[in-house]
Amino acid sequence: MQSSFNIGLSAQIALEQRLSTVADNISNSNTTGFRAIKVKFSEVINSIKNDIDQKISFVAEGNEYLSKQNGSLTNTGGELDFALEGDAWFSLQTPRGIILTRDGRFKIREDGSLISSSGRYPVLDMEGAPIQIPHKDEAFEVGEEGEISQKGKKIAAMGFYSADLSKGFVRRENSGIFPNIPPVPVLDPSDITVKRGYIEDSNANSMYEMGQMIHLTQKFNSITELIDDSDKSFLEAIKNLVS
């Protein structure tokens, strides 16, 4: 009976974790460049020594990972709005290291440096150096490969970066992430395209996530009822033993 309680409790802990990620996805369904978090759960089998050497299945703590699905693109026409098509990230320089982001709503400082939408962090090129626009008040072109040119001369190239996010990450800078393993430039950017005048919407589908929230809440409540029933049965068994 107690094994039923433990199984139910492990399932509830797993569902609480999933509910937390779903709530986060819903709250960021309109956040530019946001990537939804998913959770993968595994099963742990424990042997319980009794007359039949029973094996009991528990739900292990879930592993969180980012959905790689690209969000849809919105045409803004903005000269400093950029979206990426392909498996890569823009990179931002911070005092603590590189932040990866799919939010390409950039700005230009007075000194000509290209910076993040918050105005705090420089955007990096493929060499890891901040991108500079020499004549900030004059037009410049950005090709689909990320090359930036002005007056017919190449002045920089947008950096495309990747990282092993399976080692963990922390949310930073709007929809950005700070990976535990330092990001590196993409070696073969042939499948990556820069779209100027576009931004990438969140890939979190609010309708789907709301459905998940309802479904998971129902599961949580059902397990709570099972645990309550298990407790009652356990107490009744004790009463019978001592009576």
d(CA 17, CA 62): 8
Segment 53-88, tens digit of pLDDT: 444 444 445 577 889 999 999 999 999 999 999 999
From the list 154, 178, 158, the residue with the least C-alpha distance to 168 is 178
pLDDT of residue 167: 86
Segment 212-232, tens digit of pLDDT: 888 888 887 877 777 666 655
Task: State the amino acid at position 145 in one-letter form.
Answer: E
Which percentage of the chain shows pLDDT scores above 70?
79
Q: Which two tokens stand for residue 90?
A: 């823009």
d(CA 236, CA 82): 65
d(CA 46, CA 41): 16
Segment 87-121, tens digit of pLDDT: 999 999 999 999 999 999 999 999 999 999 999 99
Strands in 60-133 per DSSP E: 63-66, 73-75, 81-85, 90-94, 97-101, 104-105, 107-108, 114-115
d(CA 227, CA 10): 11
Q: Residue 14: is its pLDDT beyond 80?
A: no
